[in-house]
Structure 1
Amino acid sequence: MDIVIIDDEPKIRNGLRHFLDKQEGWSVTGAFENAVDALAFLSHHDADAVITDIKMPEMNGLDMIARLKERDTDTEIIIMSGYPDFRFAQQAIELGVLRYLVKPANPRELLQILKGVEEKHGRVVKKMAEPVYNLLVKKAADYIEENYGEKISVKEIAEHLYVTPNYLSDLFKRHTGKNISAYITDVRLEKAKEYLTIPECNVAFISERVGIGNSRYFSNLFKKKYGMTPSEYRNTSI
């Protein structure tokens, strides 16, 4: 797995590079002190994961992420910032950032996140190699990813893709092993986990933000999937 690090603090940048390069199968292909140089590098080199600070000279991390996402939606972004600012965290989530960690970050937590990236990319490569992989399924998943915060239905997704709901449902279940409604719920709950790392976001706000208006129903769904309430999860994540 290829990783890029962007941080204007040499101690953190070099420490991360040394720490991650020791992991088997991982390689830090670039470590930069500013976002401008990193963006130039990433325009010619692929990366599975980017670990970046926000406050940096010339260009801040959020602006860099926005530019990167315009041309590359596959690279996972992890923010490590010394600023636990709600506005930064909210903007990061809207940009599709995987996690927002506050310095000093827990090395074990960072490793766990990156191992998840490695597993995800491995699954994607495997799926893309399978002849049964269907572009419609990917488009449906992309639509859900972009609209999870709204009230979306199988009918609406099918209309967007110009197919019938029954055809899309059968196709999605055949290729993913999961029905679309269950998949939408899973995406929403995963997004909720990201919001739960932000102390300023209460459960009612998060449930509304991820498209599950009833906070009690949201809490029940969350506990059923993860074995703990949203508040309990927050206590283990912050």
Structure 2
Amino acid sequence: MTHAAQISLYHGTTAVAAEAILKEGFKAPDIDAVLLDVSERHGVAVSSLMENLKVHSSYLVSESDRGSRVSFTPNREKVESTWAQNAPEHLREALWAVWRVKYSTHPDPYAWAQDVAGHAWVIGHLAQSEPVTLELKVGIDELMDLRAQAVSFAARALTPELLPALNLLPEIAFPVPFQAPRALTVHQLERRIGWDVFAHWLRMDVEEFRKRHEAGEFGDEGIGRYVASPWWPLRVVDEVLERFGCR
């Protein structure tokens, strides 16, 4: 059966995860296994990680249904600039807990999102995996058969009256396990490094970084709709770090 009216939905993940998804479909992440692995790699007890995640209201402990669905959006740019860059988000959350428990010297532990050193450390670990976007072309009339959900502050079943406004929905999700009804397309992405993390790795203050950037020493930056501040591809950042002796 063909579906004339189709929509492209996008999911952000990593190249390694994409390989498994293409073979086995989407499955719920094993959060316990992720926490145990991170605990052993970084020498922080799982109980300490869990306590920190609770204190900071991480979705890993505050959203009991988060792992029960896989999220897509019609907005490709949003996926490429944010979702894929933060993937896998369960590992990202666990790494932030390690940083806050073991390494952070930020004066306000509850303002961890402003901790540039923390962002640099977490991104340094996530950057070991290449980000990708998975594109699913699906017939609009298929969505309800696939038990699609419209997600804003909460997930609810996708209903016929929402179908004309699909492109306006911030998120469309499917219960897991989920097998795409047709082949997914993989789009390779560049790992994006924000200017603040770039400056931190270069051991430069804001003023020095700004002057060198304006002098063209770092090449052209990227600007996106969903990330307003400048960023550079990791390959460019690595070249600059090598040139400045910061590797």
TM bracket, shorter-chain basis: under 0.3
Higher helix share: 1
Report which of the two has the higher share of strand. Answer: 2
Higher relative contact order (CA 8 A, sep 6+): 2
Q: Which entry has the higher C-alpha Rg, 1 or 2?
A: 2
TM normalised by structure 2 equals 0.26
